[in-house]
Structure 1
Amino acid sequence: MGHEIDVLVLGGAGVDTIVHVPELPVPFADSHMIRPGIVTRAGQSGDFVALGTSALGLRTHHLDLLGDDPEGDLVRALHQEHGIGLTAVPQPLGTKRAVNLVGPDGRRLSLYDATRAADTDRLPEATVRALAAVSRHAHVVITQPCAHALPALREAGLTISTDLHDWDGSHPYHEPFAHQADLVFLSTTALTDPERTMRRLTERGRARIVVATAGADGAYLLADGELTHIPAAPPPAPVVDSNGAGDAFAAAFLHAWLHGTPPHRSALHGTVAGAYACTIPSTRTAAIGREELNAGVAGLERSEQPGASYS
């Protein structure tokens, strides 16, 4: 049976309020004058992955809980504007929202509203199975209640990816995602020994490819038992914000990988897309296109030193 959907994204739909601050941590004061202003826009992790894969030509569908509220309207409008399929399951607690404090150097601190989710939340199994039956791949965001959908995705025979973000390598919340995915992304931010964590993921779970992003230091790829350093791509414009860089990396990697590109070259696609995302102000939602992505990868390949492997 043919696939109607290339990438089914589960979870991670929501709204961010962007607040630019003079520095992080924010200096204590009675008040701060904020420029370029405070902006609320649709776009959390699942939204950004869906935007990225869709912009690169993958048929993308997004499934998540959304409230009947202004924030949910913003999420629906984002998907409609970019032609991304969306199945919105009613969420009485409201649409996920967060406040992102963004420093002058592009670093951010995210404050998530924990009142808009409950431990009992579930994506309807019948809906998950129906979408999985016509999908090729699922990218599962680590938001509640996506872990409960993993068995149905596995039974449908999809390949699965996930992004553990700043996991410390031990927090149990992340383990269902970490151990059920074929392809795992994570950040090195909270890892004291990235290689050890990456290898444990392949030993304890299903993952055969693990990618750990390291910001300006590029990324590390574990594939076929070999750990390789992937160089950071030069940003095409000044860096203004790191928000969404990891999601952009994942989307571009998936685009290349699902087209049969080897993991190393897929990771080059990821670094180029991640660097591009860092040049987009956090008040906007934009994804790299195929032409610019391919040009960036070609530039990296011309300058890359072969054989940079680590044991």
Structure 2
Amino acid sequence: MNGHPPGGGPARPAGVPGTAGPAGVPPSRPDVVCLGESMVTFLPSRPGRLADVPSFTRAIGGAESNVACGLAAAGHRVAWVGRVGRDGFGDHLVETIAGHGVDVSAVARDPHRPTGVYFRTDADRATDAHEVVYYRAGSAASAMSPTTVPYATVAGARILHVTGITAALSADCLALVRDLTEPRPGRPLISFDVNHRPALWRDSTAPEVLLDLANRADLVFVGADEARRLWGLPGARAVFDALHRPRLVVLKLGKGGAEVCDRSPEAYADIEDADGVTHLERPPRVDVVSTIGAGDAFAAGFLSATLRGLDLKARVRHGHLAAAAALTVPGDLGTPPGRAHADRLVALDADAWGRLHLGPGWTAADQEVRTP
């Protein structure tokens, strides 16, 4: 495997927009570079079919920029690398993401292609009632390629976070993801979220492509539902066997929590088991407002704890808490709890953790968290 899990050490302040260096390289070494398409999203003013919704509220959406904003809120230096149109929607995206403390200096502006937008209902993505309509074909982001985003743009980061969404946007975008995940001496730790979006794939190659990309990574996030849909894998052991190259595989089980397979040498140095060590951590009870953005928040919480050098249980619990922050708000981005607040909850014993009950507003420092 290439790269090593980032060590501990104090987190640096969140990045601020600056002047891009050579070839669009962010001006200072970030902890994490998140690369992918961000879009303007229109949220419905009321429940129901898109055909019946009378008005929408403008927000931003994009798996990779969501992770970037979550990591910046947690106190890390983060850059988002993407491509937007030279239009008002592109202005809004760049300014909004920068306002979350993310370095946007390497974001390119395309004078010929528009910024992507999409509309969605407020129903859970997993239900038949959920509708989403994308206007992203031919978007500025779909023109990303190894030429427009050279490896030097991301080379200085401790972690590079990418997703399967980018790979689905165009042949050039797939070539870019393959190039950035190519084995290289000293490359960043590659974090890959499978994020299978069936509507984006124009052919039947998704299972093969996403399995290959996942096996190029050091850390993989994948949902149990995705693994069944994509690869017909029925359980954790089958998923871990199929994703045999990454040193960490995080299998998200929804309300069942997350099970992690850790193959890093330090995890099983004294155990004769080349299949790695597994750990299951269940989430607290959450009063769900919306599920949109929860997976991205989980990744941000897990990566934040990874950057801090915390143990595996703490990494998963920080992921669950970050996801709970997103689950208890209507938009894609929730305000995560302060680090001290989250650390106190993560340190609870198993019994107290199992009694946690988180509702809207729980991340506020003065909000009482229920442990009945």
TM norm structure 1: 0.81
Q: Is the 8 A contact 1:219 1:230 kept in 2?
A: yes
Counterpart of 1:220 in structure 2 is: 259
Counterparts of 1:59-78 in structure 2, within 5 Å, are 59-78=77-96
Q: For 1:90, give the aligned amino acid.
A: R
CA distance in 1, matches of 2:260, 2:29: 30
- Partner deviation per Cα, 1:212-242 (whole Å, 9 max, x = no partner): 222222122122323332101233xx32111
Match of 1:210 among 239, 244, 249: 249
Q: What is the DSSP-based 3-state SS (H/G/I as helix, E as strand, rest coil) of the residue aligned with 2:195?
A: coil
Q: For 1:229, give the aligned amino acid.
A: L
- Partner deviation per Cα, 1:224-269 (whole Å, 9 max, x = no partner): 323332101233xx32111110000001100111221222321111
* Number of corresponding residues: 292
Q: For 1:231, give the aligned amino acid.
A: R
Q: What is the DSSP-based 3-state SS (H/G/I as helix, E as strand, rest coil) of the residue aligned with 2:347?
A: helix
Counterpart of 2:116 in structure 1 is: 96
Counterpart of 1:4 in structure 2 is: 29
Counterparts of 1:75-224 in structure 2, within 5 Å, are 75-86=93-104, 87-91=106-110, 92-103=112-123, 108-117=130-139, 121-125=143-147, 127-142=149-164, 143=166, 144=169, 145=173, 148-152=176-180, 154-155=183-184, 156-166=186-196, 171-192=207-228, 193-203=234-244, 206-224=245-263
- Partner deviation per Cα, 1:44-82 (whole Å, 9 max, x = no partner): 111110001111111100101111122211211112212
Give the share of equivalent positions with the same residue, in percent.
Answer: 25
Q: Is the 8 A contact 2:33 2:160 kept in 1?
A: yes
Q: Is the 8 A contact 1:179 1:207 kept in 2?
A: yes
Q: Report which of the two structures shows the higher radius of gyration computed on alpha carbons.
A: 2
Q: For 1:88, give the aligned amino acid.
A: V
Q: Is the 8 A contact 1:9 1:60 kept in 2?
A: yes
Q: CA deviation at 1:294?
A: 1.9
Q: What is the DSSP-based 3-state SS (H/G/I as helix, E as strand, rest coil) of the residue aligned with 1:85?
A: coil
Q: CA deviation at 1:96?
A: 2.4
Counterparts of 1:280-299 in structure 2, within 5 Å, are 280-282=329-331, 286-299=335-348
Q: For 2:281, give the aligned amino acid.
A: I
Q: What is the DSSP-based 3-state SS (H/G/I as helix, E as strand, rest coil) of the residue aligned with 2:342?
A: helix
Q: CA deviation at 1:128?
A: 3.5
TM norm structure 2: 0.69
In 2 relative to 1, CA 282–126 (structure 1 residues): closer, same or farther, beyond 3 Å?
Answer: closer
Structure 1 spans left out of the alignment, 5+ residues? 306-311
CA distance in 1, matches of 2:119, 2:134: 7
CA distance in 2, matches of 1:216, 1:176: 28
Q: What is the DSSP-based 3-state SS (H/G/I as helix, E as strand, rest coil) of the residue aligned with 1:174?
A: helix
Q: Is the 8 A contact 2:221 2:250 kept in 1?
A: yes
In 2 relative to 1, CA 220–69 (structure 1 residues): closer, same or farther, beyond 3 Å?
Answer: same
* Residues 1:16 and 2:77 aligned together: no
Q: Is the 8 A contact 1:164 1:174 kept in 2?
A: yes
Q: What is the DSSP-based 3-state SS (H/G/I as helix, E as strand, rest coil) of the residue aligned with 1:180?
A: coil
Match of 2:303 among 246, 254, 259: 254
Counterpart of 1:48 in structure 2 is: 66
Q: Is the 8 A contact 1:125 1:149 kept in 2?
A: no
Q: Is the 8 A contact 1:50 1:61 kept in 2?
A: yes
Q: CA deviation at 1:126?
A: 7.4
Structure 2 spans left out of the alignment, 5+ residues? 1-27, 199-204, 229-233, 264-275, 355-372
